[in-house]
Structure 1
Amino acid sequence: MRTAFGRTELPEEQEAHLRRAVRLAWLTIAFLVTAVTAVYLAMGSSQAMKAAWAEDLLSFIPPIAFLLAVHRTRKPPTSEHPYGYHRAVGIGHLVAATALLAMGAFLVFDSASSLVKAEHPPVGLIEIGGHVVWSGWLMIAVLAYTAVPPVLLGRAKMPLAKSLHDRVLYADADMNKADWMTAVGAIIGIVGIGLGLWWADAAAALFISGSILHDGVSNMRVAISALMDARAETYDGHDPHPLIGQIDERLREVPWVATARSRVRDQGHVFHVESFVVPVPGHTPTLAELTQARRAVVALDWKIEDMVLVPVEQLPERMLPSVAAEKAADPDRHDAGR
């Protein structure tokens, strides 16, 4: 039996990508268990280590949210949920973004307070196998261990997020790819303490906290926009999804269609489409013609799960604002998209 999101059967390629993404999510969770434990045991009084440990804890949220969302979206639509359960992806994305934003804000305040108070974190000596060593070396070794695997996991997840159009998986991959900066920043802070620069630890913690806060703000913006039925965008939330133009182009290729415009809503992994078509003068499309046109659009991409095709005398401009009108209403968003 083929894997499906709701009533949408996945093509073989996406089915294989989903299985790989699930395996990577479980592998990420297993790695994080070891990383969180190691950092906690080694962190001592270092603010940078504390921030790195908090980020590792937060890193559990995206893979867990991804696994839960995938499980939920596989349920077919019901009378209570006629559109299916695809919004579970958006909810998971919002939960992850909220946790990042809240923890990032707290850590920025905590790190800045330590810097202002000029707190000097003690990094003493520790005995390992009968040898006395500076505990900073143990911290650096642990941080080095936490730096490499997340980058490899993030690089492996990113193309899968694009293929599956999964923003929770993308947020997870994006955080993983940036985790090396957290480890390197914390290592610089520890080395700074060893060199007598008391402020280096708090400064490194502030850098890490700022990175967490930035991830939270950017993911929050994309998650809220999607849940408010914004125009469908690419998996990273940077640009309008190319399928919007492809849908209208395919409809305009239909012989009896004079012009067409669509609004496309991102439900999670899949899209719901409302297309308005103006027939050529003197032609009234039959049910067979409408069905054929709809099938031609649905065949464009597996993500087009649901489509409503409406023949009209003229395009309802109030329902389909032009790109120029959208830009005038929110110029900053369009400029950022470029």
Structure 2
Amino acid sequence: MSRRTAERGGGVTFGHTELPDEQSAALRRAIRLAWGTIGFLLVGVTLVYLVMGSSQAMKAAWAEDLLSFIPPISFLVAVRFARRRPTTAHPYGYHRSVGIGHLVAAAALLTMGAFLVVDSGSGLLAAEHPPVGVMHLGDQVFWAGWPMIAAMVVTGIPPVLLGRAKMPLARTLHDRVLYADADMNKADWMTALGSVVGILGIGAGLWWADSAAALFISVSILRDGITNLRVAAGALMDARATTVDGDEPHPLTAEVDERLRALPWVEDARSRIRDQGHVFHVESFVVPRGGRAPGLRELGDAREAAISLDWKVQDLVVVPVAELPEEMLPSVAAEAGEDEQRPGR
């Protein structure tokens, strides 16, 4: 057993990385929540389908519920693949399955969101008047909008609770598929509220309220698709490692450099980190003091010092160099200059 494995003991692995106890417990809970989400969606999709009638807002909400199956299924599949150990054919392991799952979910959201925007927008422009009739339950006759509203209330609250439960787990596991799923779940209250407003609008004689609510839901789906597609594509194109939400550079980059610079034989160090999915692959370039070539023990100790920082640092390569290769490690200022020169900026 390696020193790194001995320090952990979570019993669950991603590739050849054994997870600490906190991440192992988070993964087990996330898997239970994913299965729970799928079970709830099966009930919710059926319920909404039975009462949606000809309401555009209800149809958009139903489509969003169908799309909500993709992230938890993608998460479960990605986790199953990510736990496989590296092979000769896949020496880096199967961690990229997380990025693939994220990309599939984002593409589905973008495609369906664009379709629904066109569909609901055309209904609004065509001034379609969706009929909401009455329903019979025994001898009772009542407006069909009430079951629609009840269905949206019943199916709108649990996803919010599920999303709040998944969000901290996604950060703990650095899992973008789980994060996208949690983010969608947390925003489901807007879908439910939009549908309720649209249905009440029909009841009040505002024919345009239903299509307007459907357009609101569709734009929300489209926005989620664009945001997630940007983050997923960036990760697969080896963009610099960022936090799980994709908003900020991951602090591990600076922490690895600081740890290496603290070594007595290192004058300077800079790293580039490739986000493999749950874990990182790090290439660290170090400049030895006085131009002295480090020994094998020093290089090994440097690697262990950096790896011990965080469980996500799965692979790390230490490369001694005479000077830092700027062409491989562009500065932040240089990156900002390139961004300013890009078209549309």
- Specify the TM-score bucket, using the shorter chain as the normaliser: over 0.9
* 1:282 Cα offset (Å): 4.6
Cα gap change, 1:282 to 1:46, in 2 (>3 Å)? closer
Query: Could you tell me which residue of structure 1 aligns to residue 193 of structure 2?
Result: 184
* Cα distance in 1 between the residues matched to 2:163 and 2:104: 20
Code of the residue aligned with 1:113 in structure 2: it is: S
Cα gap change, 1:332 to 1:90, in 2 (>3 Å)? farther
2:264 is the counterpart of 1:234: no
CA contact (8 A) 2:291 2:322 kept: no
Query: Could you tell me which residue of structure 1 aligns to residue 134 of structure 2?
Result: 125
* Cα distance in 2 between the residues matched to 1:138 and 1:42: 6
DSSP 3-state at the match of 1:281: helix
Query: Could you tell me which residue of structure 2 aligns to residue 225 of structure 1?
Result: 234
* Cα distance in 2 between the residues matched to 1:45 and 1:121: 6
Code of the residue aligned with 2:233 in structure 1: it is: I
* 1:130 Cα offset (Å): 2.2
TM-score by length of structure 1 reads 0.97
* Cα distance in 2 between the residues matched to 1:282 and 1:305: 29
2:334 is the counterpart of 1:325: yes
* 1:179 Cα offset (Å): 0.3
Code of the residue aligned with 2:186 in structure 1: it is: K
Query: Could you tell me which residue of structure 2 aligns to residue 38 of structure 1?
Result: 47
Counterpart of 1:274 (choices 262, 283, 286) is 283
Counterpart of 1:49 (choices 28, 46, 58) is 58
Calculate percent identity across the aligned residue pairs. Answer: 70
Counterpart of 1:174 (choices 168, 178, 183) is 183
* Cα distance in 1 between the residues matched to 2:272 and 2:31: 31
Written as runs of structure 1 = structure 2, the 5 A alignment for 1:130-145 is 130-145=139-154
Q: CA RMSD in A?
A: 1.3
* 1:330 Cα offset (Å): 1.8
* 1:2 Cα offset (Å): 1.1
Cα shift readout 1:208-227 (whole Å, capped 9, x = no counterpart): 00000000000000000000
2:164 is the counterpart of 1:155: yes
CA contact (8 A) 2:99 2:235 kept: yes
Query: Could you tell me which residue of structure 2 aligns to residue 245 of structure 1?
Result: 254
Cα shift readout 1:142-161 (whole Å, capped 9, x = no counterpart): 00011100000000000000
Code of the residue aligned with 2:94 in structure 1: it is: Y
* Cα distance in 2 between the residues matched to 1:331 and 1:71: 41
Query: Could you tell me which residue of structure 2 aligns to residue 336 of structure 1?
Result: none
Query: Could you tell me which residue of structure 2 aligns to residue 197 of structure 1?
Result: 206
| Runs of 4+ more than 6 Å apart | none
Counterpart of 1:296 (choices 283, 295, 305) is 305
Query: Could you tell me which residue of structure 1 aligns to residue 23 of structure 2?
Result: 14
* Cα distance in 2 between the residues matched to 1:282 and 1:315: 13
* Cα distance in 1 between the residues matched to 2:338 and 2:161: 40
Query: Could you tell me which residue of structure 2 aligns to residue 103 of structure 1?
Result: 112
Cα shift readout 1:80-117 (whole Å, capped 9, x = no counterpart): 00000000000000000000000000000000000011
